[in-house]
Amino acid sequence: MQKMASPSSLSKAVLTLACVVLLIGGTSAQLSISYYAESCPKLFPTVKSIVQEAIAEEARMGASLLRLFFHDCFVNGCDRSNLLDDTPTFTGEKNAIPNKNSLRGFDVVDKIKSAMEEVCPGIVSCADLLAIISRDSVEILGGPGWDVKLGRRDATTTSQAAANNNLAPPTDNLNALISNFQNHGLCLKDLVAQYGAHTVGQARCINFRARIYNESNIDSSFAHVMQSNCPSVTGNGDNNTDGLDYQSATSFDNTYFLNLMKKRGLLHSDQQLFNGAGYTDSLVRTYAKSQDTFFKDFAAAMINMGDMKPLTGSNGEIRKNCRRVNNY
């Protein structure tokens, strides 16, 4: 048994919360893994082959596609609202602070959607495609698989403010990160397991500059290496990227947690999960010790996230093009 570091009063309160999605206004009961079994039997192989191709071309793309799903689900539920392009009369989520110059993979989603419109036109929603794409990405990068529940429909509108309000910034402290996940009906275990997604992918210097120059809970040799690619003065090299999981950013494994234990978290918010302040420390230790436990909890957390407020029944639509609503 691991000893729990004295949890703050907030994380103590969270500890008592069961790991269940609250489903505020949601109808995830209507989702099912066999939703398209008859209407589109070619769905899974079609998606997977294009995801495979994209990752073979650029390993980072798997991470980018996984992040797209998270940024969709945390803003009004998993309804593909973050794929909508801005138009002269509509401002969507793409240029919200956490997304601008950062979200990527839209072209791959377009390619998959076009392929779907060939094999079963008008059947599969963009929301469901992203749920499958993110599962395939994780598996191809070496992570766990899971059965994806399907039957979501696509949103016909969204707002930039919702994206800014629902996606936590990398400057957040642990209590703010916990509140953010709680507000989305997710529990502490979901937070730590899901944050393990940072085992793959890249962050821009602008998001970790303050940490590598000014924080004390950081391994100094690690900080030094990161500084070589991220100049201290704002405006210089802001777009330079480094791996979120030091030396292992293209394989989905548990080294992210081992790195946190060595104070090698790249973002301020990453290192918050292991800063001696609460229950998350022991979860980080658990996942660092057992990749199997991390994989099991990660898969469960992804399913919980995919259940958030889906549009079903006659709500929303099946978009023909993921970048715009059908009647634009």
Binding site for ligand NAG (CB under 6 A): 101, 209-210, 213-214, 232, 235, 238-239
Residue 293 token pair: 């436990």
Q: Are 92 and 156 in contact (CB under 8 A)?
A: no
Among residues 7, 201, 265, 278, the one that binds ligand HEM under rule CB under 6 A:
201
* 184 in catalytic set: no
Residue 136 token pair: 């395939």
Q: If contact means CB under 5 to 8 A according to the sort of partner, which of ligand NAG, ligand HEM, none does residue 232 touch?
A: ligand NAG
- The CA distance from 262 to 271, in Å, is 10
Which of 71, 184, 198, 268 is the catalytic position?
A: 71
Shortest distance (Å) from residue 317 CB to ligand HEM: 26
Contact between 143 and ligand HEM per CB under 6 A: no
Indicate the residue among 212 and 322 with the shorter CB distance to ligand NAG: 212
3-state DSSP assignment of residue 313: coil
Q: Are 17 and 11 in contact (CB under 8 A)?
A: no
Among residues 76, 125, 166, 194, the one that binds ligand HEM under rule CB under 6 A:
194
| Helices 280-289 & 291-306 angle (0-180, nearest 10) | 120
Residue 179 token pair: 């509140």
Residue 188 token pair: 């502490």
Q: Are 58 and 107 in contact (CB under 8 A)?
A: no
Shortest distance (Å) from residue 89 CB to ligand HEM: 28
Q: Are 259 and 246 in contact (CB under 8 A)?
A: yes
Indicate the residue among 220 and 327 with the shorter CB distance to ligand NAG: 220
Shortest distance (Å) from residue 205 CB to ligand NAG: 9
Q: If contact means CB under 5 to 8 A according to the sort of partner, which of ligand HEM, ligand NAG, none does residue 177 touch?
A: ligand HEM
Shortest distance (Å) from residue 327 CB to ligand HEM: 31
Shortest distance (Å) from residue 266 CB to ligand HEM: 9
Q: Is 284 exposed, middle or buried (0-12, 13-18, 19+ CB in 10 A)?
A: buried
Contact between 178 and ligand HEM per CB under 6 A: no
Q: Are 160 and 95 in contact (CB under 8 A)?
A: yes
Could you tell me the CA-to-CA distances from 83 to 95, 201, 300, 322 in Å, in that order? 11, 20, 25, 6
- The CA distance from 262 to 222, in Å, is 9
Among residues 11, 46, 82, 102, the one that binds ligand HEM under rule CB under 6 A:
102
Q: Are 194 and 302 in contact (CB under 8 A)?
A: yes
Among residues 47, 63, 163, 311, the one that binds ligand HEM under rule CB under 6 A:
63
Contact between 70 and ligand HEM per CB under 6 A: yes
Among residues 177, 192, 218, 288, the one that binds ligand HEM under rule CB under 6 A:
177
Q: Return residues touching ligand HEM (CB under 6 A).
A: 60, 63-64, 66-67, 70, 102, 104, 168, 170, 172, 177, 180, 194-195, 197-198, 200-204, 207, 244, 267, 269
Which positions are catalytic? Answer: 71
